[in-house]
A and B are shown apart, each in its own frame.
Chain A
Amino acid sequence: MTAHNRNLVAILGGSTAVYLALAVMMGVLPGIWLSGTPPGPGVAPLTAEQAAGRAVYVSEGCAYCHTQQVRPLATDSGFGRPSAPGDFAYQTPQLLGSERTGPDLTNIGNRQPGTVWQFMHLYQPRSVVPQSIMPAFPWLFEVVDQPPQGESAVPVPKPFAPAQGVIVPGARARALVAYLLALKQPAWPLPAAISTAPGASPPGAAPAGFDAAAGARLFTSHCAVCHGAEGAGVPGVFPSLAGDPVVNAADPAEQIRTVLHGRAGKTINGATYAGAMPPFADQISDQQIADIIDHERSSWGNHAPLVTAADVAAQRAQP
Chain B
Amino acid sequence: MAYSEHPGLRTPDEPMLVRVFAAYTVSATVWLLLATFVGLILALKFSYPDLFTAPAFSFGRLRAIHTNGTFYAWASPALIGLALFVAARSSGTGLYSASLAWVALALINVAAICGTVALDLGYNAGDQEYREWLWWVRAILAFALVLTAWNLIGTVASRRDEDLYLSNWYTIGAVLWTIIVLIVALLPWYQVGLGQVAVQGYFMHNAVGMWFTPLALGVFYYALPKLLNRPIYSYSLGILAFWTNLVFYPILGAHHFLFSPLPWWLQTLAIVFSVAMLVPVIGGSANFLLTMVGQGHRMHRSPAMFILVGVLAYLFGSAQGTVEALRSLQPVWHLTNYTVGHSHLTMYGFVTFAIWGGVYALLPQATGRRAPDLAIGIHFWLSTIGVIIYVLSLSVGGTEQGLDWMRGAPFIQSVVDQAPYWLWRAIGGGLMFAGHLVFAFNVSLMVWGGLAEQAADRRAAGVPA
Contacts and interface: CB of A to CB of B under 8 A. Distances in A.
Interface in B240-299: 242-243, 246-247, 250-251, 253-254, 256-257, 259-263, 266
B177 A16 contact: yes
A15 B166 CA distance: 14
Interface stretch (B44-52, B229-237, B434-442, B450-458): B44-52
A27 B184 contact: yes
A213 to B, nearest CB: 11
B196 A58 contact: no
A139 B257 CA distance: 33
B63 interface: yes
A71 B259 contact: yes
A88 B193 contact: yes
B259 A73 contact: yes
Interface stretch (B7-15, B156-164, B216-224): B156-164
A258 B129 CA distance: 43
Given A35-B194, A60-B60, A75-B331, A138 B53 contact: yes
Given A16-B177, A23-B181, A139-B55, A99 B339 contact: yes
A137 B246 CA distance: 44
Interface stretch (A1-9, A173-181, A244-252, A301-309): A1-9
A283 interface: no
B250 A22 contact: yes
B411 A221 contact: yes
Interface stretch (B70-78, B119-127, B348-356, B372-380): B119-127
B426 interface: no
Given A94-B193, A136-B53, 9 more contacts: A23-B250, A27-B185, A27-B206, A34-B197, A36-B195, A89-B193, A102-B411, A131-B412, A221-B412
Nearest to A87: B261
Contact of B246 (A4, A19, A59): A19
A269 interface: no
Contacts of B203: 27
A182 interface: no
Interface stretch (A62-70, A150-158, A291-299): A62-70
B202 interface: yes
Interface in A32-71: 32-37, 58-65, 67, 69, 71
Closest A-B pairs by Cβ, 4 of them: A61-B60, A93-B126, A35-B195, A31-B190
Interface residues of B, number: 88
B103 interface: no
Contacts of A63: 127
Interface of B: 45-47, 49-50, 53-55, 58-61, 63-64, 122-129, 153, 156-157, 162-164, 169, 172-173, 176-177, 180-181, 184-185, 189-200, 202-204, 206, 210, 242-243, 246-247, 250-251, 253-254, 256-257, 259-263, 266, 331, 335-337, 339-340, 402, 405-406, 408-413, 415-416, 422
Nearest to A24: B184
Contacts of B263: 30, 34
B202 A30 contact: yes
Contacts of A131: 412, 415-416
A36 to B, nearest CB: 8
A170 interface: no
Q: How large is the interface on A (under 10, 10 to 19, 20 to 34, 35 or more residues)?
A: 35 or more
Which of B50, B198, B331, B406 counts the most A-chain CB atoms under 10 A from its CB?
Answer: B198
A92 interface: yes
Given A23-B206, A28-B184, A103 B411 contact: yes
Contacts of A59: 60, 122-124
A88 B193 CA distance: 5
Interface string A138-155: 110000000000000000
Given A59-B123, A96-B197, A31 B257 contact: no
Nearest to B200: A94
Given A90-B193, A136-B53, A34 B262 contact: yes
Chain B contact residues, majority secondary structure = helix
A132 interface: yes
Contacts of A35: 189-196
B196 A217 contact: no
A92 B123 CA distance: 16
B202 A27 contact: yes
A131 B162 CA distance: 65
A115 interface: no
A47 B210 CA distance: 40
A26 B250 contact: yes
B55 to A, nearest CB: 5
B180 A20 contact: yes
A8 B127 contact: no
B250 A11 contact: no
A64 B127 contact: yes
A64 B59 contact: yes
Contacts of B191: 31, 35, 92
Contacts of B200: 94
25 contacts: A8-B164, A15-B169, A15-B246, A16-B180, A19-B250, A22-B251, A23-B177, A26-B250, A27-B203, A33-B195, A34-B263, A35-B191, A60-B60, A61-B124, A88-B194, A91-B193, A92-B191, A93-B125, A94-B196, A97-B335, A101-B337, A125-B49, A126-B50, A129-B412, A220-B410
B105 to A, nearest CB: 22
A4 B162 contact: yes
Contact of B331 (A65, A73, A93, A220): A73
